[in-house]
Structure formats: structure tokens, C-alpha cells
Amino acid sequence: MVHFADSLTFSGRKVVAAWAALPFPARSGSSLPDALSAHQQDLPWKLLSSWREHKVSCCFAQSVVLRGVCKERPSSCLGQPQFPLQGWESPEQVLQQYLHTLFPGACSTAHVLQQPCDTRAPFPQFFSPLLTRRGFLPDKAQGDSSAGVQSMPVLAALQSCPGLQGLLRGLCRELRAPRARRWSSLCTAGLEQDDCHEALEELRTLAQCYETAFGADGSEDEGDSD
């Protein structure tokens, strides 16, 4: 994972955020272009990293993997605008074009796997009873399935984005807060106080690497100062 994260970071950045959609909300029998076109504003993923979640409208680099969405022919939905995704040859090109539309200018890599994620026992069955056994959204509401969800489409991503600046700044503020027990344990471990201050300064410098020329949130700078 360290080497994978390094491949997505540059210009002094070292941290990436993890996102996932489990399951990826797709209708049963939908094609890959149809499944992606249903989410034209943003991907329906959830943040797995520990910072306040907000809509990510831009990123520096990302790697996205989508698995388990069938590759049937796309349907034509009248009255619903769609991304121009039907003209691409491979599923990876379809996903790549979709990411380019949502995050123009970002360095994106896309991978599409046909095999879904296996969710049979001992995988915990915490899914909605409305899901089909293959983890898709049915055309009509269904009752509980005695067999449970046995597999499902999944989207996962690692992303280097400006939002990580808030996470790093918050961590820096937390570590700067005076706590006698923390400093006592650090001294017991043989870590000098000067080394701690140097590490905090490196963390603050790392946070600054995620600033952008557009919409950089400078409101938290004052909270980082000593």
C-alpha cells in the first residue's frame, strides 16, 4: 500500500484518502455505461478516512477499481441526459472517461473487473433486504431473501485531493494541544521534545502541499499557529 500510495502522490504530498461504495448502487442487468450515467454529479462512494466528509469536486490523482457490473448493452433512457460513454471499446476506457468528466485535469487510473465481491458467509449480512442476491438494486421492491446477499458490485478508490489538507491540519492541532500524559509517554519512549516539534513542523508543511489556487481554505491556518 505504501508503494501504491506513492504512485498517486507528487509535489511533496504523501497521503491519500480511501473511498468505497459497498455495494455500488446499480440496477440489476444494467450495463457499465448505464450504471455510471446514473450518477452524473458525483460518485456514490463513502469516505473511509478520518476527516469530515464533504463533496470532493477536484483531486490531484486517483486510482479507481470497479468490479461486478455486467457488460450488457446500454439502454436508451429518454429524457435523461447521459455521459457520452457508449462509444468506448473497453470497460476501463468507459470508467476513465467518466472519471475525466467528474475530475477534469486529474491523473486517473481505472480498472474494471467482471468478478463481483464475494459476500457469502462468514461475510456479515448487514445489507438492505431490498438488494438482490447479487447485490444489485431490483426494479421493484422485494422482500427478504433467505439466502442473503451472496455477491455484489463494489467500487473502491484511493485519491489524493485538497480535502486532505483539513485532515492534516486537524491532526497537527490535536498534537500541539498540551497534554502532560502524552509528553510523559513520549519522553519515556526516548523521544526528545525538539524531535516532536520538528515532526509537527513537517506535518504542517505536508498539509500545505495540498493547497490549491482555487478555493484553498486558509481559515484553519490560524489554528495551526503556536
pLDDT digits (tens, 9 = 90+) for 146-155: 568 999 999 9
- Residue-wise pLDDT for 50-80, tens only, equals 766 666 778 899 999 999 986 655 554 434 4
- Residue-wise pLDDT for 150-181, tens only, equals 999 999 999 998 888 888 888 888 877 766 55
CATH 3.30.1330 range(s) for the chain read 1-72+89-160
What pLDDT is attached to residue 186? 67
The pTM (predicted TM-score) of the whole model is: 0.77
Of 106, 35, 45, 103, the C-alpha closest to 68 is 35
Of 12, 3, 4, 103, the C-alpha closest to 60 is 103
- Classified by CATH at the fold level, domain 1-72+89-160 comes out as 60s Ribosomal Protein L30; Chain: A; (3.30.1330)
